[in-house]
């Protein structure tokens, strides 16, 4: 049976829809790494749910951090230290 708090999501058959975002240290798959993973639960209009806090994890990388990537996601070496 569908949990009461997810009843507004009939198109998902009671399952919670989430958006997953992955940020990297650059665009070269041979050099750059994943530096952040975020999972944001969404409501029936695909907006972030206010009742569930998003999950966010920063991953310290061993390689270089491309300044152009930092311009896009705003993550710099200070956050990853």
How much is the mean pLDDT over the chain? 83
Structure confidence at residue 24 (pLDDT): 93
Instruction: Determine the straight-line distance between the first and last CA of the chain, rounded to whole angstroms.
Output: 45
**Confidence category of residue 34, pLDDT binned at 50, 70, 90:** very high
pTM of the model: 0.72
Q: Is the pLDDT of residue 80 over 70?
A: no
- Number of CB atoms found within 10 A of residue 1's CB: 4
Beta strands in the chain (DSSP E): 18-24, 34-41, 55-58
Q: How confident is the model at residue 61 (pLDDT cuts 50, 70, 90)?
A: confident
* pLDDT score recorded for residue 39: 96
Residue 57 has pLDDT above 90, yes or no: yes
């Amino acid at each position: 049976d569908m949990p009461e708090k997810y009843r507004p999501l009939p198109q998902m058959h009671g399952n919670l829809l989430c958006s997953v975002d992955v940020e990297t240290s650059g665009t070269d798959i041979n050099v750059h790494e994943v530096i952040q993973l975020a999972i944001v639960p969404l409501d029936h209009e695909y907006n972030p749910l206010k009742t569930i806090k998003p999950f966010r994890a920063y991953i310290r990388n061993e390689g270089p951090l491309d300044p152009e990537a930092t311009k896009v996601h705003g993550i710099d070496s200070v956050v990853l230290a």
